């Protein structure tokens, strides 16, 4: 392994930790870092609650998969699957992977798959890095209508699976009562259940790509350790129905994704690296305010993964959090200036290539980030959640934090219990004793919060509003 752990072609983009200008500066950075770590844990980003979320959403994926009787595998991806957002803080990213279709790289033989499986062969020539087209190699004896009706002719008598038709076919799926479907967003089909539970559903296909994964695993690195890298390889890849923006083949192209592997990677970040990722997402939402995902949480995740790979794990600790935030923001600034950021799993793919960033927004963000870098540890005060927590007296903050975490744990347990009690119409048995016990305790906790708020002079509207506010 190289001593520095850095990639020779990316030395300045993901730098190693720099030195502070003086001992006094270093002490200020370290003290503020430790305090910020404590506050983030109180706000719901401690290791225990993050693990509880990951476990709950992994279990939800298993429960939903079991209902499909082998037809599909569910993966709860995004910030929910990573355990980094509270119950109502963001949408649930639900990936539904078809188990009756397998897509293969050239080196994989199709004869290993039974006759009922439809086999597609990836064709990456003339497609942008991390994208491919899918040629039909063998139509299976069992094939879903949404797949079968998405084939089109490539002009040479061969059948291609159209990503565009594939998404449109799934958009016509019958929904459970109480679910409202929204306009398609790229590969995603968003919907809302019961008026407040928002989901982004992406239908995807299994992809066997040993060449891509072995190349990733072979990189010199400080992190992840070899056993974790092998688990990532074993989790494989999927293809999502979205082409490279502007490509002449966009409507028939598919994007290579490693959702399960990336969840494994995020799970193996240490506490400081995880909190670094959380702070970057707060900066995106509360300071940069992107309009159309010109900078996304995925962009920031890749910066954190590169920094973890290129630096010794021991250098990421409570006292160094804000120093690493400084480095990460500088890496983001470089990405905005150059419009280049290599994808962690496939470095040839530039995540900024289709950002849609206009010159005015680019200048504004570069200026804002430069100002934050010049502010030193005080840059943390730009984040409303952190600023309010610093102002709040520690005792009330700890009390409310404890109630919020208990409410979230109850909500996660209720979510999975409801999945067990669902019938084929999406309804669940409200008389279930465990559901009722969870609901009773939930109401007790909300009542405690309401009483304390009234005693402190706060205005209380209703219990549901309190729950929504706490869980956001």
3-state DSSP of 109-167: CHHHCCCCCEEEEEECCCCCCCEEEEEEEECCCCCCHHHHCCEEECCCCCEEECHHHHH
Helix (H) or strand (E) holding 73: strand 72-77
Is 3 inside a domain boundary? no
* Contacts (Cβ under 8 Å, ≥6 apart) of 232: 213, 216, 217, 224, 258, 261, 264, 265
* Residue 454 clears pLDDT 80, i.e. is over it: yes
At residue 297, the pLDDT reads 94
Q: Within this chain, do residues 83 and 211 fall inside the same structural domain, yes or no?
A: yes
Q: Within this chain, do residues 347 and 325 fall inside the same structural domain, yes or no?
A: yes
Peptide bond into 224 cis (omega under 30): yes
Is 18 inside a domain boundary? no
Q: Within this chain, do residues 235 and 294 fall inside the same structural domain, yes or no?
A: no
Reported confidence tier of residue 112, pLDDT bands at 50, 70, 90: confident
* Residue 9 clears pLDDT 50, i.e. is over it: no
Q: Within this chain, do residues 206 and 246 fall inside the same structural domain, yes or no?
A: yes
Q: Within this chain, do residues 407 and 357 fall inside the same structural domain, yes or no?
A: no
Reported confidence tier of residue 463, pLDDT bands at 50, 70, 90: confident
At residue 424, the pLDDT reads 65
Distance of CA 134 to the CA centre of its chain: 26
Q: Within this chain, do residues 374 and 399 fall inside the same structural domain, yes or no?
A: no
What tens digit of pLDDT does each residue of 324-365 get? 999 999 999 999 999 999 999 999 999 999 888 999 999 999
**339: CATH:** 1.10.1410.40
Which of 8-22, 107-121, 356-370, 394-408 reaches the highest mean pLDDT? 356-370
- DSSP per-residue string spanning 219-278: S--SSS-HHHHHHHHHH-EEEES---TT-TTGGGEEEEE-HHHHHHHHHTS-HHHHHHHH
CB atoms within 10 A of CB 85: 22
φ, ψ of residue 464 to 5 degrees: the values are -65, -40
The span from the CA of 27 to the CA of 415, in Å, is: 44
Is 149 inside a domain boundary? yes
At residue 140, the pLDDT reads 94
* Residue 266 clears pLDDT 90, i.e. is over it: yes
At residue 234, the pLDDT reads 97
Whole-angstrom CA distances from 195 to 172, 178, 179, 412 are 20, 8, 8, 18
* Residue 90 clears pLDDT 60, i.e. is over it: yes
Helix (H) or strand (E) holding 418: helix 394-421
At residue 472, the pLDDT reads 76
Is 165 inside a domain boundary? yes
At residue 418, the pLDDT reads 86
Is 464 inside a domain boundary? yes
* Residue 426 clears pLDDT 70, i.e. is over it: no
> Any idea of the CA torsion for 219, 224, 226, 232, to the nearest 10 degrees?
-90
Distance of CA 178 to the CA centre of its chain: 26
Answer with the one of 257, 279, 301 that is the final residue of a domain: 257
- Helix 321-338 and helix 23-40: axis angle, to 10°? 90
Q: Within this chain, do residues 344 and 369 fall inside the same structural domain, yes or no?
A: yes
The span from the CA of 397 to the CA of 44, in Å, is: 12
Q: Within this chain, do residues 181 and 282 fall inside the same structural domain, yes or no?
A: no
Q: What is the span of the domain harbouring residue 347?
A: 23-45+269-382
Answer with the one of 234, 257, 280 that is the final residue of a domain: 257
Q: Within this chain, do residues 196 and 224 fall inside the same structural domain, yes or no?
A: yes
Q: Within this chain, do residues 230 and 318 fall inside the same structural domain, yes or no?
A: no
SS (H, E, C) 366-408: HHHHHHHHHHHHHHHHHCHHHHHHHHCCHHHHHHHHHHHHHHH
Q: List the structure tokens of 357.
A: 């960033």
Q: Within this chain, do residues 246 and 358 fall inside the same structural domain, yes or no?
A: no
Query: Do residues 304 and 342 make contact, with C-beta atoms less than 8 angstroms apart?
Result: no
Domain count, the chain: 3
Is 334 inside a domain boundary? yes
pTM: 0.90
What tens digit of pLDDT does each residue of 10-34 get? 334 444 444 456 788 888 899 999 9
* Residue 5 clears pLDDT 90, i.e. is over it: no
**Residues of the chain with pLDDT > 90: what percent?**
67
Count of residues for the chain? 472
**199: CATH:** 3.30.460
Environment class of residue 145 by beta-carbon count within 10 Å: exposed (0-12), middle (13-18) or buried (19+)? exposed
At residue 12, the pLDDT reads 42
The span from the CA of 217 to the CA of 224, in Å, is: 10
- Taking Cα atoms as reference points, which of 367, 344, 422 lies closest to residue 178? 422
Helix (H) or strand (E) holding 35: helix 23-40
- End-to-end Cα spacing for the chain: 43
φ, ψ of residue 322 to 5 degrees: the values are -75, -25
Answer with the one of 351, 382, 413 that is the final residue of a domain: 382
Is 7 inside a domain boundary? no
- Taking Cα atoms as reference points, which of 263, 264, 262 lies closest to residue 227? 264
Is 53 inside a domain boundary? no
Strand pairing of 92-104 and 197-208? Answer: parallel
- Taking Cα atoms as reference points, which of 419, 409, 414 lies closest to residue 62? 419
Q: Within this chain, do residues 418 and 317 fall inside the same structural domain, yes or no?
A: no
């Amino acid at each position: 392994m190289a001593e520095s752990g850095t990639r020779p072609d990316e030395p300045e983009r993901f730098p190693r930790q720099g030195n502070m200008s003086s001992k006094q500066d270093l002490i200020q950075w370290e003290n503020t870092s430790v305090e910020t770590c404590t506050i983030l844990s109180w706000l719901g980003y401690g290791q225990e609650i993050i693990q509880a979320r990951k476990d709950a959403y992994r279990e939800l994926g298993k429960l939903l998969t079991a209902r499909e009787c082998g037809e599909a595998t569910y993966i709860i991806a995004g910030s929910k699957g990573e355990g980094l957002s509270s119950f109502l803080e963001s949408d649930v990213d639900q990936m539904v992977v078809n188990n009756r279709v397998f897509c293969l790289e050239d080196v994989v033989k199709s004869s290993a798959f039974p006759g009922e499986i439809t086999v597609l062969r990836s064709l990456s020539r003339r497609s942008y890095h991390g994208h491919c087209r899918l040629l039909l190699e063998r139509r299976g004896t069992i094939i879903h209508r949404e797949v079968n009706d998405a084939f089109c002719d490539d002009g040479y008598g061969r059948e291609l699976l159209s990503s565009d038709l594939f998404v449109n076919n799934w958009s016509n799926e019958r929904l459970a009562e109480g679910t409202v479907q929204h306009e398609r967003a790229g590969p995603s089909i968003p919907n809302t259940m019961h008026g407040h539970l928002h989901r982004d559903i992406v239908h995807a296909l299994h992809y066997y790509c040993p060449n891509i994964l072995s190349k990733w695993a072979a990189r010199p690195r400080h992190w992840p350790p070899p056993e974790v890298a092998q688990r990532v390889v074993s989790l494989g890849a999927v293809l999502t129905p979205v082409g490279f923006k502007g490509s002449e083949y966009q409507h028939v192209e598919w994007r290579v994704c490693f959702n399960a592997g990336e969840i494994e990677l995020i799970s193996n970040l240490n506490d400081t690296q995880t909190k670094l990722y959380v702070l970057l997402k707060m900066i995106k939402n509360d300071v940069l305010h992107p309009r159309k995902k010109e900078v996304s949480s995925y962009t920031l995740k890749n910066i954190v993964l590169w920094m973890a790979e290129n630096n010794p794990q021991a250098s990421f600790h409570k006292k160094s959090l804000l120093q690493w935030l400084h480095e990460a923001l500088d890496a983001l600034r470089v990405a905005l200036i150059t419009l280049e950021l290599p994808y962690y799993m496939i470095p040839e793919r530039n995540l900024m290539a289709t950002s849609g960033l206009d010159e005015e927004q680019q200048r504004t963000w570069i200026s804002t980030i430069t100002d934050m870098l010049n502010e030193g540890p005080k840059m943390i005060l730009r984040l409303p959640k952190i600023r309010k927590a610093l102002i709040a007296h520690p005792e009330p903050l700890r009390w409310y934090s404890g109630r919020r975490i208990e409410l979230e744990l109850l909500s996660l347990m209720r979510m999975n219990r409801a999945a067990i009690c669902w019938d084929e119409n999406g309804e669940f048995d409200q008389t279930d004793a465990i559901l009722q016990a969870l609901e009773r305790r939930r109401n007790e906790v909300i009542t405690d919060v309401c009483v304390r708020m009234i005693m402190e002079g706060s205005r209380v509207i209703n219990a549901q509003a309190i729950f929504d506010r706490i869980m956001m």
